[in-house]
Amino acid sequence: MDLLNTLVDKGLRRELPTRAEALAVLATSDDDLLDVVAAAGKVRRHWFGRRVKLNYLVNLKSGLCPEDCSYCSQRLGSKADILKYTWLKPDDASKAAAAGVAGGAKRVCLVASGRGPTDRDVDRVAGTIKAIKDQNEGVEVCACLGLLSDGQADRLREAGADAYNHNLNTSESTYGDITTTHTYADRVDTVQKAHAAGLSACSGLIAGMGETDEDLVDVVFSLRDLDPDSVPVNFLIPMEGTPLAQEWHLTPQRCLRILAMVRFVCPDVEVRIAGGREVHLRTMQPLALNLANSIFLGDYLTSEGQAGHADLEMIADAGFEVEGAGEVTLPQHRASAGGCGSHEEACGGCDSHEGAGVCGSAPAATPAPQVDEVRRDLVSVRRRGAGTDLAPNA
C-alpha cells in the first residue's frame, strides 16, 4: 500500500504526514488493519526498539472537582460512586508509589483533582515528590495538578519534578462541547508553562467521546505543534453517573487505527496507552504494543485496570521487554535536548499541515462509528490502593 510505505518513510525521517494521510489511516478497512499495525510498528521499533516503559498513577486527591469535564467521574455534579478523599500525606503517597516502582514502573504520575493547585498545594506536592525520590532512587516523577499559575511550574521543577502532564483531550473546535469551566487555550497555556520551566511536557487526548476523524487528527496535530515528550492516548471509560456514560463508539480495531495514526504523526515521541485499554482494546492489547512504547501499570485514577502481573505477562508474551530504570526512554536527539526537543528539530518538514498526500484531499467530516456491543462489565470503580486500606494493584 503506497500510503503506508510513504508514512513509514516519513516516520523514519521525523517528517509530519499530511492531514489527508492521517485521515486515511483512520479510514483504512479491517482487512488492512494488520498492514497498518505492521507499518506503524516499524516506526515504533526504529525509535524505541522493543522496550515498554511502565508508568504508575497515584491519585493524591480524589473527587469533588469544581470543573465540569463531561468525561470525568470526579467532575462537578458527578453521580459516579467513586472514592472521594482529600490530599494524601507524603508518606502515604510514597508508599503507594513504591508499589508501582516495585512492579517495574520507572515513572510515577502524581495526580490531583481540581481546577489547578494553590501555592500551598504546590508546597504539599513538593513534599510528596521529595518523599518519593528519597525512598525510590532514580524514579521519574510527573505531576498532573490541573491548570498552572505563573511560577508554579518552576517551583515543581525545583522540587524535583521531572515532567508535567496536562492533556488537550479533544480538538479546539469541539472543546466547548466537553468542558465549559475552562478553555482549550487554558490547557495549551499550561503545557507551554511546563515547557518553559524545563519540565518534560506530557499531553495527550481522549478518544471515544463522539468525535469525528477530523477531530482526532486536529488534536494530534495540535499536540505535535506543542511538541510534548510523551503523548498519552486515553480511550473513554464511560462511567455511570457522568454525561458520557452512554458513549460507546470504540472497537479494538478503531483503537488500533487511532494509535497507529498517533505514531505516524508523533514518530519519535513516547506514545502511551493510557486509560480504557482494557475496556476497548480487550484481547487486542498485546497488538497495541507494536504501536505504543509506554503503558500505565495497574489501576487508574478512579477505575480499576488489568492486574499488574497480567500487564507484565502480556509484555513478555508479546515479545517486548520492560524498560529498565537506567535506560533513556527518548531517542538521543530528544533526550540530548533536555527531554524537550525543539519543534523544528523534532518534526523536520512539518510546517505544512495541509495539502494533498498520496491519498488525495481530505474527505468530508466522518462521524464516529456506532458500536453494538457494550461491555459495562469491564468498567470497574477503583476500591483499592491510594485512599484505601487495601493493597494497590501494581
The CATH number for 161's domain is 3.20.20.70
Calpha distance 98→335 (Å, rounded): 26
Query: Which pLDDT value is given to residue 337?
Result: 72
Predicted TM-score (pTM) of this structure: 0.88
Is residue 263 a part of any domain in this protein?
yes
Nearest-CA neighbor of 165 among 141, 196, 138, 186? 141
The percent of residues in the chain predicted with pLDDT above 70, rounded, is 91
Is residue 316 a part of any domain in this protein?
yes
Is residue 368 a part of any domain in this protein?
yes
User: Has residue 346 got a pLDDT over 50?
Assistant: no
Per-residue burial over 220-252, b if 16 or more Cβ lie within 10 Å, else e, is bbbbbebbbbbbbbbbbbbbeebbbbebbbbbb
Is residue 108 a part of any domain in this protein?
yes
Is residue 383 a part of any domain in this protein?
no
Under the banding of pLDDT at 50, 70 and 90, the label for residue 157 is very high
Rounded average pLDDT over 226-255: 93
Cell numbers describing residue 44: 515504533
Supply the mean pLDDT for the chain.
Answer: 89
Is residue 216 a part of any domain in this protein?
yes
Is residue 112 a part of any domain in this protein?
yes
Domains in the chain: how many in total?
Answer: 1
Under the banding of pLDDT at 50, 70 and 90, the label for residue 348 is very low
Residues labelled catalytic: 65, 69, 72, 109, 142, 202, 272
Range of the structural domain that residue 233 is part of: 2-326+363-378
Say if residues 217 and 343 touch (Cβ distance below 8 Å): no
